[in-house]
Structure 1
Amino acid sequence: MIDDSPREGSMRQTRYDAIDRRSALQGALAAGVALPFLGGRAGAQSADSIRIWTFMSAEGQSPREKVFKALIDDFQAKSKVKVVVESQPFQELETKFVAAVAQKRAPDLVWLRDTFLSLVVDRGGLADLNTELSPEFRQQALPDMFNVFTQKSVFDGKRVSLPIWPSPAQIIFYRKDALREIGLEAPPLGWTAFVDVAGKLTKGTRIGLGLPTSDNSVSALVNVMSGFGPSIFDPATGRIDLTGAEAVEAAKTVRDLVARGAVSKTLLNAMGDDIQDQFAAGRFAMAQAFAPRFQQYQKIAAGYDPKELAVSAWPSFGSRPPAVLLGPYWTVGLASTSQNKAAAVAFLESMFSPAASMKWAKEASLIPDRRSVMSDPWFNTSDAAVTAAFFKLLSGDGAFVFPQRVPDITKLFNVLNTSLQEIIGTDEKVEPILARAKSTLGW
Structure 2
Amino acid sequence: MTSMLFDRRSLLRAGAAGLALASLPKQAGAQGLSGTVRVWTFLGADGQSPREVVLREIIKRFKAAHPGVDVRIEAQPFQELEVKFVAASAQNRAPDVIWMRDTFLDLVQQRGALANLDDLLSAEFKAKALPDLYPVFVEKSVFSTKRTSLPLWPSPAQAIFYRKDALAELGLDAPPLTWEKFIPVAGKLTKGDRLGFGLPTNDNSVSAFINIMSGFGPSIFDAATGQFNVTGPEAKEAANVVRQLVANGALSPTLLNAMGDDIQDQFASGRFAMVQAFAPRFQQYKQIAAGYSGKDLAVSAWPAFGTNPPAVLLGPYWTVGISAKSANPAAATAFVESLFTEEASLEWAKTAGLVPDRRSVLRNPYFATPAASDIHAFTALLSAPGVMTFPQRMPNITKIFPVMNTALQELIGTKESVDAILGRAKSTLGW
Q: TM-score, normalised by structure 2?
A: 0.91
Residue 188 of structure 2: aligned partner? 200
How far apart, in 2, do the equivalents of 1:363 and 1:20 lie? 37
Match of 2:37 among 11, 34, 50: 50
How far the C-alpha of 1:248 sits from its partner, in A, is 0.8
Letter in 2 for 1:405: R
Match of 1:410 among 392, 398, 402: 398
Aligned pair in 2 of structure 1 residues 299, 90: CA closer, same or farther (>3 Å)?
Answer: same
How far the C-alpha of 1:291 sits from its partner, in A, is 1.1
Match of 1:185 among 159, 173, 178: 173
In our comparison, the structure showing a higher alpha carbon Rg is 2
How far apart, in 2, do the equivalents of 1:413 and 1:244 lie? 18
Deviation sequence 1:162-216 (CA, Å, 0-9, x none): 0111121111000000111111101111111111211121112211111111111
Kept in 2, the 8 Å contact 1:54–1:111? The answer is yes
Q: TM-score, normalised by structure 1?
A: 0.89
Residue 109 of structure 1: aligned partner? 97
Residue 322 of structure 2: aligned partner? 334
1:232 correspondence with 2:215? no
Unaligned runs of 5+ in 1: 1-12, 26-35, 38-46
Letter in 2 for 1:78: A
How far apart, in 2, do the equivalents of 1:351 and 1:330 lie? 13
How far apart, in 2, do the equivalents of 1:276 and 1:24 lie? 43
The equivalences for 1:33-432 within 5 A come to 36-37=32-33, 47-80=34-67, 81-432=69-420
Aligned residues: 410
Kept in 2, the 8 Å contact 1:22–1:343? The answer is no
Letter in 1 for 2:46: E
Root mean square deviation of aligned Cα:
1.9
Deviation sequence 1:354-409 (CA, Å, 0-9, x none): 11100110011111001111122211222111111111111222222111221222
Deviation sequence 1:319-364 (CA, Å, 0-9, x none): 2221111111111101111232222111111110111100110011
Letter in 2 for 1:190: T
Which is worse superposed, 177-186 or 336-345? Answer: 336-345
Aligned pair in 2 of structure 1 residues 57, 175: CA closer, same or farther (>3 Å)?
Answer: same
How far apart, in 2, do the equivalents of 1:198 and 1:130 lie? 47
How far apart, in 2, do the equivalents of 1:49 and 1:240 lie? 43
How far apart, in 1, do the equivalents of 2:158 and 2:308 lie? 19
How far apart, in 2, do the equivalents of 1:19 and 1:347 lie? 20
Aligned pair in 2 of structure 1 residues 22, 359: CA closer, same or farther (>3 Å)?
Answer: farther
How far apart, in 2, do the equivalents of 1:242 and 1:17 lie? 59
How far the C-alpha of 1:428 sits from its partner, in A, is 2.5
How far apart, in 2, do the equivalents of 1:20 and 1:330 lie? 33
Aligned pair in 2 of structure 1 residues 350, 400: CA closer, same or farther (>3 Å)?
Answer: same
How far apart, in 2, do the equivalents of 1:410 and 1:180 lie? 40
How far apart, in 2, do the equivalents of 1:348 and 1:274 lie? 31
How far apart, in 1, do the equivalents of 2:178 and 2:317 lie? 25
Aligned pair in 2 of structure 1 residues 180, 22: CA closer, same or farther (>3 Å)?
Answer: farther
How far the C-alpha of 1:427 sits from its partner, in A, is 2.4
Which is worse superposed, 57-66 or 244-253? Answer: 57-66
How far the C-alpha of 1:22 sits from its partner, in A, is 8.7
How far the C-alpha of 1:20 sits from its partner, in A, is 4.9
Unaligned runs of 5+ in 2: 1-18
